[in-house]
Amino acid sequence: MQQKNLFEDGSLSRPVAAALAATALVAPAWVSLGDSPSRSRSNRIWYALLRKPRFNPPRAVFPVVWTLLDGALAVGAYRLARKPATPERNRALGLCAANVAMIAGWSRLFFGRHDLGAAAAGSAAIAATATAYVAAARPVDRPAAATAVPLVAWVAFATVLSTAVWKMNRRQGSACTIEAKINPMPMTLIAQMPVRATGMPIM
């Protein structure tokens, strides 16, 4: 009877909610593997050749930040999934899923297509969607909404960073890509690239 009542209000069971949260945690890293510089020497070199602003964070910052952000987003997804199904809860979960998908898609724009302008626009779109998610989740579950506030702050910064990288490199066209394919690079330079836990540099 208790299990039945659990589903009568539309909330998800703990295992299902945990699976949803795990998807939010793992999906961006899994999707990005196809474009990961760890699997492509030309991508590693291309990224290292890009001009970057002085405020580009140190290498060690990226994996720590994204591990925390992805984990927080997963916690928020779990909490929302355990709430009774309402239009507000469902909208918040939909926006959460949209954020996960867009974070995964960003790597395709940046590392797959080498489209710096689209990647900058993608960062701005993620910031807007993350802000909408916080606003939608707050009436449903304030702690869930709070877990995404750091994501909003980081992606807002990432938008500034991505825009700066685009502006500093847009006149080069495909020159970086061509040079990355034909010119060798010292491993010490490649080693300076910021990487995520998957071995992929990220915004």
Q: What is the pLDDT of residue 8?
A: 61
C-beta separation of 144 from 95 below 8 A: no
Domain limits at 31? Answer: 2-190
C-beta separation of 61 from 194 below 8 A: yes
Q: What is the pLDDT of residue 25?
A: 83
Q: Can you tell me the distance from the alpha carbon of 18 to that of 185, in angstroms, rounded to the nearest whole number? A: 43
Within a domain: residue 195?
no
pLDDT tens sequence for the chain (203 residues): 444 434 567 788 889 899 889 988 887 777 666 666 556 678 788 888 999 999 999 877 877 898 899 999 999 999 999 999 999 999 999 999 999 999 988 888 988 889 999 999 999 999 999 999 999 999 999 999 999 999 999 999 999 999 999 999 987 654 455 444 445 444 444 445 555 544 444 46
CATH code of 15's domain: 1.20.1260.100
- Both tokens of 47, joined, read 């990224």
Q: What is the pLDDT of residue 168?
A: 95
Q: What is the pLDDT of residue 121?
A: 97
Within a domain: residue 37?
yes
| Residue positions counted in the chain | 203
- Both tokens of 103, joined, read 């974070």
Q: What is the pLDDT of residue 45?
A: 87
- Both tokens of 178, joined, read 């061509």
Region of 10 please: left (phi>0), alpha (psi -120 to 50) or beta: left
Q: Can you tell me the distance from the alpha carbon of 103 to that of 100, in angstroms, rounded to the nearest whole number? A: 5
Within a domain: residue 168?
yes
When divided into structural domains, the chain yields a total of 1
pLDDT by residue (tens digit) across 11-53?
A: 888 898 998 899 888 877 776 666 665 566 787 888 889 999 9
C-beta separation of 203 from 161 below 8 A: yes
Other Cβ atoms closer than 10 A to 157: 16
Other Cβ atoms closer than 10 A to 158: 23
Q: What is the pLDDT of residue 108?
A: 86
CA 89, 136, 96, 102: dihedral to nearest 10 degrees? 150
Q: What is the pLDDT of residue 166?
A: 96
Q: Pick the closest to residue 12 from 75, 84, 87 (CA basis).
A: 84
